[in-house]
């Protein structure tokens, strides 16, 4: 009996997340197809940091100059872009 309730709750959570993603995608698609298609996209200045391992065991750090990265103004990632709210919080990208 308890297993059925747990299974029902899990399926309910999956359904809510799927509906939220579908609604977010539809809203972003509508904003992209309108006259002002830039309303769905934004940009954030990010800086890439390269951590290069050297043969002697130490790590060398190199930085690219800051550059604009395109993002989508939505809750989830769409169209190959990360959401702007996430990019704002992760302006430094570490590449190892």
Q: How much is the pLDDT for 13?
A: 97
pLDDT band at 37; cut points 50, 70, 90: low
Average pLDDT over residues 56-70: 90
- Quick one: tokens of 40? 């769905």
Report the alpha-carbon distance of residue 8 to residue 30 in Å, rounded: 33
Average pLDDT over residues 17-22: 96
In this prediction the pTM is 0.75
Chain centroid to Cα 82, Å, comes to 3
- Quick one: tokens of 75? 């809750």
48 pairs with which residues across the strands?
A: 93
Give 83-92 pLDDT, tens digit per residue.
999 999 988 8
């Amino acid at each position: 009996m308890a297993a059925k309730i747990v299974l029902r709750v899990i399926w309910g959570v999956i359904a809510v997340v799927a509906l939220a993603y579908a609604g977010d995608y539809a809203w972003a698609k509508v904003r992209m197809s309108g006259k002002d298609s830039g309303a769905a996209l934004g940009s954030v200045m990010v800086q890439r940091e390269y951590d290069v391992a050297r043969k002697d065991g130490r790590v060398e750090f190199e930085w690219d100059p800051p550059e604009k990265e395109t993002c989508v103004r939505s809750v989830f990632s769409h169209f190959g872009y990360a959401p702007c709210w996430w990019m704002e919080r992760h302006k430094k990208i570490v590449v190892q």
